[in-house]
Structure 1
Amino acid sequence: MKLVTWNVNGIRACVKKGFLDFFHEIDADIFCIQESKLQEGQIQLDLEGYHQFWNYAERKGYSGTAVFTKQKPLSVKYGIGEDFEELEGRAITLEFPEFYLLNVYTPNSKRDLSRLPYRIEWEKQLKMYIQALDEKKPVIYCGDLNVAHQEIDLKNARSNLGNSGFTMEERGEMTSLLEAGFIDSFRYLYPDRGDVYTWWSYMAKVRERNIGWRIDYFILSERLKDLLVDTEIHCNVLGSDHCPVMLEINM
């Protein structure tokens, strides 16, 4: 089974930059996007053979997630649980016979960290939600998680320490989740591979010089690790400030 996650930073703009070419070429069984930045009816994607599920933010042109899947899911859920009001379209859960697929666009804590408290509350609620799913069947959790977990996951760790996406609080929440019985699939397979990133600033020459962050992930229930084939970061695919990440797993 092949799965892809990609923060497209506006699906309408990304379509104009080759999204559909990559989508058809990769031929994934499940394709997840984040930051769709639209409302219902603002785009019509002709994805023959795929079921489409969209979660729109109430605010226009902001956030949003979607999942395109060849196999019809048993159930679909939007948000991360009844106890956490989520108006930004940041999460979709699809239930399949053997696993849950959770596609997430994690809130950014903002440059001035003004949204860090909300972000941490989100993380805690999400962890409880994922653990509840994991009690029923294994979880494949993916998306733009807006955190570089370890120093190896960004180019300039020392100068970014304490900045949004690399605070001790955000990194600690990722550690807490992994310690609860989950693995970062890329780092599990490639523990020492550096200079591989999924997001680059739009500032001049930053992507060309590979000054990036690895903030897009496939996180798996630990009991799936023996089924893991590969996690591939498609650094050369353009169309967004993020690049796609692909997971292959023997489900």
Structure 2
Amino acid sequence: MGDLTGTTALVTGASRGIGQAIAVRLAASGAMVLVHFGTDEDGATATVGEIERAGGTALAVRAELGVDDDVETLFAGVETGLAGRPLDILVNNAATAPAGPLGVTTRAQFDHLFAVNVRAPYFIAQRALPLLRDGGRIITISSVATRMANTTQTSFAMTKGAVETMSMTLANQVGVRGITVNAVAPGATRTATNGPAFEAPGLADLIAATTALNRLGEPDDVAEVVAFLASDAARWITGQVIDASGGLFLGPRF
């Protein structure tokens, strides 16, 4: 994958799961990574430690998203970490989990979901633009929930549809600076956090049977796609949603 030596990257929600894998992968290509976390300081420390043990450079940055002054808190740490350098790559990964189907999600849950999954990445992107170099990258993690009718994830899917639209319109706005803006949509991805959920009898096999590549996703599968979009090889791709689900629910397999 493309060489990112000398670049800087901010990955939100990088203390575990897909975000952690993205941070580690970008660092492996040479980027100095700002590892954002909200409450999981131990996880962020583990991410930084893994990067440093592999010879990379990383710094943890704390900011709880979805609360007042979240972006200001985040970028106070980001600017300290950058120490005057520009930002090259922004990965909006942090998100909160689905609250439930219509009729179950409360107003408070709905508002929090949109505050973390939509408002935060929108204003993080806005705040990052003055720091982002020309030719930089903005990558937001979406979900295949936007192309499937999963009634247990109505409000969550709505938030991901919003950031996909944001990615397309922002790409059109900042393209004159050579900045690309894309979204990556994972499917069923097994992480250390959600792993137990896939242990329900028959569930993993059922998902694999409805996936073209016949298995659950892993965080590294998604991280590789993000690393590609962050590289110079993806310089002509912008305003797109890249499905990174292994072909989840493409249709029946006969």
Which of the five TM-score ranges fits, normalised by the shorter chain?
0.3 to 0.5
TM-score (normalizing by structure 2): 0.47
Question: Which structure has greater strand proportion?
Answer: 1
